[in-house]
Amino acid sequence: MPYDDPHWMGGIGFIGSKPVYNAVMSAELLLMVGTDYPYSNFLPNRPVVVQIDERPEVLGRRAPTALGVLGSARPTLKLLIDQVAPKTDTSYWDRLTKDRRAWDRKLDHQADLARSADRIHPQAVARAVSDLANRDAVFVLDTGLNTLWSANWIRQSGSQRIIGSFNNAAVGTALGQANGIQALDRARQVIALTGDGGFNMLMCEFLTAVHHKLPVKAVIYNNAAFGLIRLEAESIGVPPYRQGIDFPNPDFAAFARACGGHGFAARKPDELKKAIGDALAVDGPAIVDAVVVANELPNVPHLELELLGQVARAKIKEAVLAVTGS
């Protein structure tokens, strides 16, 4: 579905939006079709869910259901649509639309390259890739903090595809997936968006792209850390183990050239769009090394007091460790 379709509200969960969270939690009816969405804290705890699935074991597993339907999505929805009466009250829809527009303005501000004079914010990387990509491009997202940037700030056209390891959440797989997709269709633009940690795990996949002349493009959010691990630790009140989270990176642009591909780097906002545009324009595999703000916090659709308390506890512990060293 295109980003500008009025029915598009965004995703759910940590890679989702606040309007969607509010819509789901206040809905009189939530239809879950073929999904075993695992994060129950983003689903209503009231029996307002009608769940349709071929797998009996998933019905009612994540949220209380008013009705669980065992069946395939298409025929079940056809039977359901035939019995639904048209509605004329648009008040709920109007409120959601207003909330979504306000949320979009917030995302636009965060992706503005003028937000900082000398630092690139990761939201701007995703938005720049989105704006410069072909209208039928394939985006392959890696797993980690980078998933949040890409999922929220890419504005899909409706003809584009967004692919990732959304079931297994496997880190480091984006470039390998991109190679496979590109091998199937060498004429289509394929862009892997990955964190530096994930890229480092399987950077050999870029050699595969060069070897087989696959014109994939890899855009790396370079923050020299496993960013999501830091957030996950703080969310349970634990100071991040910096020695295991922070790491030095190679010059990814130089690495690309050493492999026989093309390499581009952006370290300041005024370098970003040119680096991405040049990478997308070259014939052959390319890497964009986008050095981003290391401590950028993602938007959280819903904050619970317990989560805020855990983060505060972790920050206090970090401060004590910084002073005492133990």
Same domain, 72 and 159: no
Answer yes or no: is pLDDT of 260 > 80.
yes
> Is residue 322 assigned to a domain?
no
Same domain, 146 and 167: yes
φ, ψ of residue 3 to 5 degrees: the values are -60, -35
Same domain, 140 and 205: yes
Range in 251-255, 256-260, 265-269, 300-304 the model is least confident about: 300-304
What pLDDT is stored for residue 13 in this prediction?
83
Same domain, 137 and 273: yes
Same domain, 158 and 269: yes
Same domain, 68 and 146: no
What pLDDT is stored for residue 303 in this prediction?
66
- Output the domain CATH number for residue 54: 3.40.50.1220
> Is residue 231 assigned to a domain?
yes
Tokens, residue 96: 């959601």
Cα–Cα separations (whole angstroms), residue 259 to 152, 213, 214, 297, 313: 32, 12, 13, 33, 45
More confident residue, 235 or 273: 273
Same domain, 214 and 285: yes
Would you place residue 311 in the very low, low, confident or very high pLDDT band (cuts 50, 70, 90)?
confident
> Is residue 105 assigned to a domain?
no
Number of domains in the chain: 2
Q: Is the pTM of this model over 0.85?
A: yes
What pLDDT is stored for residue 98 in this prediction?
93
Answer yes or no: is pLDDT of 73 > 90.
yes
Answer yes or no: is pLDDT of 304 > 90.
no
Domain enclosing residue 201, as ranges: 111-291
What pLDDT is stored for residue 305 in this prediction?
64
- The predicted-structure confidence for 175-190, as pLDDT tens digits, reads as follows 999 999 999 999 999 9
